[in-house]
Structure 1
Amino acid sequence: MMSKIDDRLAALGIVLPEPAVPVANYVPFTTHNGLVTISGQLPLQDGKIFAIGKLGGEIDADTGRYAARLCFINLLAQLRAATGGNLDRVTGVLRLGGFIASTPDFTAHAGVMNGASDLAVEVFGDVGRHARSTVGVAGLPLGAAVEVEGLFAIA
């Protein structure tokens, strides 16, 4: 029997990938007292970075928004691992942090980050509403255009 969240993912046409392996000296997630902190996830699709470059440069806002959505899908893959495979244990998407590689004059960071935020609400409903920060940065690991980290509450 599939869980409620698995049913929602299937309805959205989302198949979660295998969780990405860290590229440096850190763990993909930590858990403590009902909280799961997930390290920043890149916009991986089929094992490759979907968007390489900078918003306001070679990457447009729609592509950036889709990259942020992919980052959230990769957060979900890590979250599934952290919950022992049961995303129904998630009681809150508490915070998302978005990092947008961008040119100095790019100012639409919030709209790009909505790719992740909108999907959080699509998947979890009201439990998916969250606090967030979104910042523009000069560069991200492996040249990715977007990176998203998350803090979740679990039962």
Structure 2
Amino acid sequence: MAGQIDARLKELGIEIPTVAKPAAAYVPGVRTGNLIFVSGQVPFVNGELAYKGKVGAEFTVEQGQECARVCALNAIAVAKDMLGGDLDKVTRVVKLGGFVNCPADFEQHPMVINGASNVVGEIFGDKGAHSRFAVGVGSLPFNVAVEVEAVFEVE
């Protein structure tokens, strides 16, 4: 039934944002066969970069989780755009990858990227169970706190 994911989003009070324009020489996503590979998404909120700084220094783990959630919603926006607006065509969230901008001694990368994993699960239910990685890095583009990439299986 078309509109199941849209109904779920409405129930959760979640709005999928508009796709941000790429900041360099790449495209937001590539579809090959039944897979959509979404480029790394940073925390654009209403067209502006948010969450500039390091998790574990300028941001708490909880703030990092919220940043990861924003990045995941931006990744979902890319998939939605590529699917002509119909997220019901997503048959599985295959993988999320999360990069956390943090000090060298920070160890809670998985907790931060749970912000992305949790929102994907809320939206897609069982289809949202995914593989993933969560790593810490010394810097990210524009000094953002988190970047998330995704792979979706689609009809």
Q: What band does the TM-score fall into relative to the shorter chain? A: over 0.9
Residue of structure 2 equivalent to 1:22? 22
Residue of structure 1 equivalent to 2:80? 80
Residue of structure 1 equivalent to 2:105? 105
Paired with 1:22 and 1:128, the residues of 2 have a C-alpha distance of 25
Paired with 2:142 and 2:3, the residues of 1 have a C-alpha distance of 34
AA aligned to 2:129 is R
Residue 48 of structure 1 pairs with residue 48 of structure 2:
yes
What whole-Å deviation, never above 9, does each CA across 1:101-139 have from its counterpart, x for those lacking one?
A: 000111000000000000111000010000000110011
Deviation beyond 6 Å, 4+ runs, structure 1: none
| 1:4-153 alignment runs, 5 A limit | 4-153=4-153
What whole-Å deviation, never above 9, does each CA across 1:70-102 have from its counterpart, x for those lacking one?
A: 001101110111111100000000000000000
| Alpha-carbon offset, residue 24 of structure 1 | 0.2
| Alpha-carbon offset, residue 43 of structure 1 | 1.2
Q: Any conservation in 1 of the 2:28–2:78 contact (CA below 8 Å)? A: yes
Secondary structure, aligned partner of 2:92: strand
Paired with 1:105 and 1:25, the residues of 2 have a C-alpha distance of 32
Secondary structure, aligned partner of 2:107: coil
TM-score (norm: length of structure 1): 0.97
Larger mean CA deviation between 45-54 and 119-128 belongs to: 45-54
TM-score (norm: length of structure 2): 0.97
Paired with 1:5 and 1:142, the residues of 2 have a C-alpha distance of 32
What whole-Å deviation, never above 9, does each CA across 1:7-59 have from its counterpart, x for those lacking one?
A: 11111111111101100000000001100000000111121222110111111
AA aligned to 2:40 is G
